[in-house]
């Protein structure tokens, strides 16, 4: 039997996704702030390191988190963005402008049943 095992140098590891911690963080912010007004540092880590392999390490990502202009800290490890807050405010204003709409949502949702 003539089997040749692969040599590590002949099969380089392809690091997925991002080239820099900054671009990874920007992508995470865009992704995480869309469905929710706030998110945690853990959420960022899980988005950026899905398989644990990147071209940068956790310390570099933490530096980017600390200096990123988009992130607004809400506590020790929770963040939001100006855009997410603006969306939330616009939603509340819309609800206040159309009280029948919000009442209808509460009446037809499980949340409405729990509030009453």
- pLDDT, position 13: 46
d(CA 78, CA 33): 12
- pLDDT, position 112: 47
pLDDT tens digits, one per residue of 16-59: 556 789 999 999 999 999 888 999 999 999 999 886 678 888 99
Query: What pairs with residue 78 in β-bridges?
Result: 40
CATH number for the domain formed by residue range(s) 21-115 = 1.10.10
Query: What pairs with residue 40 in β-bridges?
Result: 78
pLDDT tens digits, one per residue of 50-86: 866 788 889 999 999 999 999 999 988 999 999 999 9
Q: Model pTM?
A: 0.67
pLDDT tens digits, one per residue of 93-108: 877 777 666 666 666 6
d(CA 18, CA 23): 7
């Amino acid at each position: 039997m003539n089997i040749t095992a692969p040599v590590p140098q002949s099969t380089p590891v392809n690091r997925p996704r991002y080239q820099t911690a900054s671009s990874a963080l920007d992508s995470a912010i865009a992704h995480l702030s869309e469905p929710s007004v706030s998110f945690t540092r853990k959420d960022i880590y899980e988005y950026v390191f899905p398989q644990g392999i990147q071209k940068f390490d956790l310390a570099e990502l933490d530096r980017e988190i600390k200096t990123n202009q988009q992130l607004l800290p809400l506590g020790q490890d929770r963040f939001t963005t100006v855009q997410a807050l603006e969306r939330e405010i616009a939603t509340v204003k819309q609800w206040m402008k159309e009280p029948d709409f919000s009442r209808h949502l509460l009446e037809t949702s499980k949340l409405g049943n729990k509030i009453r």
